[in-house]
Chain A
C-alpha cells in the first residue's frame, strides 16, 4: 500500500514535470511543499499541520512536509519564511492569535497583517476558563465572586505571558474588574498538568485540552461569543453574559509576500478541499479540535479585528 502511494506520487511528479507550461500555477506543485510550523512538534498548531499533511494525499500531487522551527514565540519560524523564496514551496502555518500578539509585544520588523500573503484559515484554537475537577468553583460567577472577595489572592495558570491564553485571561479579569495573580508555565501541556495537580485556582488554556481529561478538569466557559464547534458542551462567555476580550487563535496558512497570485489561489483551493475531507476532521477530532475554513481575505479581516480588540490589553502588558 505504501509502495503504491510512493509510486503514484513519483509518477505524478514525473507527469507534472513533463508538462511544460508557461504558467507557474499550472506547473505548481512539482516539488514537496514545506509547511513551516513555528512551534514544537506536539502542540495544537502542529497537530493541524500534521493532519493537513496526512489529508493532502489525493488533493495535492506532492507531499506536504511539516518543518518545525520553534522559538521566540513563533517569530523564529516566521522570520525564516518571510525571507524564503516566494515560489509556493515554503509556507507557514501558525496560530494566528499568538503570532499577532508576539509581533505586537516583541521587537520585530514582521507585521502579522502586512508581511505575508494570507492563504487560508483551516482551524481555530480557543482559550477557555478551566478549574481542577475538585475545585469549589462550579461556575464563572463563583470565580468572579471569590476574586472579588479576596482581590489578588487567587492564582491562575496560563501557558506564557504575551500568548493569546494570557491575553484572553487578562481580558476576562479586566472586563470583570477583578484581580488575580498569574503563574506562567511553558506551553499548554505543563499548564494543564499544573491545573490537574491543583497548583493554581483556575487557568486559561485551550478548550481542546479538555478532550480526554474530563475527569480531571472542568471547563467553565470558552472565551468567545458562541460555543466551540467541537467541545460544544462547554458554555461560552457570550451566552453567560460575562464580558470578555475576543482573543482567539485562528490557524492560518501564510505564504511569503510576492508568491504568485495563482499559486496562492491554487493552495487556497487545495486547503478548502482538504479542510472538507472527513479524514481531516477525524484526525483532529481526537485532539478536540476541528476544521474551521475561511478564505484568505476573510481570515485577514478577522485578524485585523482581533488586533483592535487586543491593542489596549497589550499596552497594559508592556507598561
Chain B
C-alpha cells in the first residue's frame, strides 16, 4: 500500500498541487477545443518540462492526458466534433442531447462518468500493476490478433441505418490503412511512387479532417440553407441540472465502462477510442432502452466516457513494466522518463518505486481537480462557447484544425491529408456513410494485419495457431458470439420495424 504515503507527500507539496490543478485546466481547455488533442498539447509542452524535476514533469503531462480525455467530451457534446478521438463515441448520444437543450445535463453525466472510470482505472493500476505485467508478457501476436478481431465487432454497434453503407465505410477505412509500407515485408503499397505516401496516412490529420473539417463543411452547408436563428443548441434551465434519479441508470454503464476501459488500457496499442466504442456497443446491447441510444440517451454518454478515461491508468502498466507505450501520450511520457535518466522496465519498481507511486497519487488528485472544475465549470464554459456566434466559432475551429494537423509532425503533407479527409468526411455525412465505422476500421486494420501476418509466420502459414492457443481462442469466441448477438439484434429490429409498418 505504497500509495498512501505517496498521496500524503503529494498533498503536502503546494507547488506540485498547483501544477496538478494547472494541468487539469490546460488539459480540459485543450481537450474541449475541437481539433486540439491532449497528445498534441503534451508534445508542444514537452520541451518546457525539461527544466522541471522528473516528478513535476511527469505529473504535469500525465494529468494533462487525463483531463484532456475528459475535456474532449465537451466538444463532442456541444459541437458534434470530438475534441479527441477518444470522445468520438460520446458524440453519438451527446450531440442529440445538446440539440434537445440538455447539454449541461450531458456534460455533468460525462464528468461524473469520467471520474468514476478514471478512478477505477487508477485503483486497478495500483492494485494490479505487477500482475498485469505478467499477463501482458504472455500475449503474443495470435492473442493480440484475436483481441483485434473481437474489437472489430464494435463496428456493428455504430453502423447506423444502412448496413451496406456502414460496411462500405469500414472497408474504405481498411483500404486507407493499407497505404504505406507493408508491416511485414516493408514493401510499398498504394503509394503511387509518392515519398510522402510511403509513410502511410497519419491518424491525426485523417481524424481532424474527417471529424472536424468535415463537420465544419457540413455546418457551412446546412447554415446556408437554413437562414435565420438556430436555437436548438441553447440549454434550457431544466437541461443543465442533473438529479440522482437521472444518473442512477447511468451508473451500471459507467462501472462496466470502467472495467472495459481498464481491460483495454492494459493492452498496448488499442487505446481510449476503441475502449469507448466497445463500451458504447456493450452498453447499447445490454441497455433497457436500446431504442433511445443514438437519439440522446444519458447512458450513451456515461458508457463511453467512463471507458475512455479508465484507459488512462492501466495504459501505464505496459509502459512502466515493459517499456511499451500503449498510447501516443504514453510514448511521450516514455521520453520524459528517459531524459531524466529513469530506466523504464521491470526494474523500475525496484529503483524508483517511490516516484512511480507519487505519480499515481498525482494522477488521482488530477482526477479530483478536473472533476471539480468540470462539474461546476463545464456548463459555464459551455455557455460561454455557445455565446460565441457560429460565424466566429467555426472559422476559429477551421483555423485550429490546420494548426493542429501541421503541428503534430511538422508536415505540410499532413495538412493536405487533412484537407482531403475533410472533403471526404463532408461527402460521407452528406450521403449517409458512416464516419465512425470508417475511422475505427482504419485504426484497427493496421494492428490486426500486422499481428495476423506475424501469427502466420510463427505457424508456417497455418491458421491453427489461433485455435491452439487458449487465450487467442477465447477472444475469437467472444468476438464471434458478440457478432452473432449483433446480427440477431439487427434482424429483430428489422422485424419489429416491419411489423409496425404492417400494422399501420
Is A72 within 8 A of B332, CB to CB? Answer: no
Query: Which segment, of A188-196, A258-266, A267-275, faces chain B?
Result: A188-196
Is B324 within 8 A of A42, CB to CB? Answer: no
- The listed residue (B140, B186, B338, B343) touching A73 by CB distance below 8 A is B186
Interface residue? B292 (CB, 8 A)? no
Is A182 within 8 A of B331, CB to CB? Answer: no
Is A193 within 8 A of B331, CB to CB? Answer: no
Is B335 within 8 A of A42, CB to CB? Answer: yes
Supposing A161-B185, A282-B341 touch, asked if A189 and B323 sit within 8 A by C-beta, the answer is yes
Query: Which segment, of B72-80, B97-105, B308-316, B452-460, faces chain A?
Result: B452-460
A82 to B331, CA, bound (A): 27
Is A193 within 8 A of B137, CB to CB? Answer: yes
Please name all residues of chain B whose beta carbon is closer than 8 Å to the beta carbon of A54 when the two chains form the complex: 50, 339
A77 to B249, CA, bound (A): 52
Interface residue? A65 (CB, 8 A)? yes
Interface residue? B239 (CB, 8 A)? no
Is B199 within 8 A of A41, CB to CB? Answer: no
Supposing A54-B339, A79-B195, A160-B186 touch, asked if A199 and B346 sit within 8 A by C-beta, the answer is no
Is B409 within 8 A of A212, CB to CB? Answer: no
Tell me, rounded to whole Å, the shortest Cβ–Cβ distance linking B470 to chain A: 15
Is A72 within 8 A of B199, CB to CB? Answer: yes
Tell me, rounded to whole Å, the shortest Cβ–Cβ distance linking A236 to chain B: 24
Is B343 within 8 A of A50, CB to CB? Answer: no
Supposing A40-B331, A73-B186, A190-B324 touch, asked if A197 and B139 sit within 8 A by C-beta, the answer is yes
Is A212 within 8 A of B458, CB to CB? Answer: no
Is A212 within 8 A of B47, CB to CB? Answer: no
Please name all residues of chain A whose beta carbon is closer than 8 Å to the beta carbon of B354 when the two chains form the complex: none
Is B137 within 8 A of A200, CB to CB? Answer: no
Tell me, rounded to whole Å, the shortest Cβ–Cβ distance linking B266 to chain A: 13
Please name all residues of chain B whose beta carbon is closer than 8 Å to the beta carbon of A200 when the two chains form the complex: 458
Counting chain B CB atoms within 10 Å of each CB, the highest count among A40, A41, A286 belongs to: A41
Interface residue? A287 (CB, 8 A)? yes
Q: Mark B177-197, 1 if CB is under 8 A from A, else 0.
A: 000010111101000010100
Is A286 within 8 A of B343, CB to CB? Answer: yes
Residues A172-193 near B (CB distance < 8 A) = 181-186, 189-190, 192-193
Please name all residues of chain A whose beta carbon is closer than 8 Å to the beta carbon of B332 when the two chains form the complex: 41
Supposing A2-B51, A41-B334, A184-B454 touch, asked if A189 and B324 sit within 8 A by C-beta, the answer is yes
Interface residue? A140 (CB, 8 A)? no
Interface residue? A216 (CB, 8 A)? yes
Supposing A189-B322, A189-B324 touch, asked if A212 and B343 sit within 8 A by C-beta, the answer is yes
Residues B21-41 near A (CB distance < 8 A) = none
Is A50 within 8 A of B324, CB to CB? Answer: no
Residues B119-161 near A (CB distance < 8 A) = 136-141
Interface residue? B198 (CB, 8 A)? yes
**Taking beta carbons and an 8 Å cutoff, which residues of A are in contact with B?**
2, 5-6, 40-42, 46-47, 50, 53-54, 65, 67, 69-73, 75-76, 79-80, 105-108, 155, 160-162, 181-186, 189-190, 192-194, 196-197, 199-200, 211-213, 215-216, 282-283, 286-287
Given contacts A50-B338, A181-B457, A199-B140, 9 further A-B contacts (CB under 8 A): A76-B199, A107-B188, A183-B141, A183-B457, A184-B183, A186-B450, A193-B137, A194-B140, A197-B139
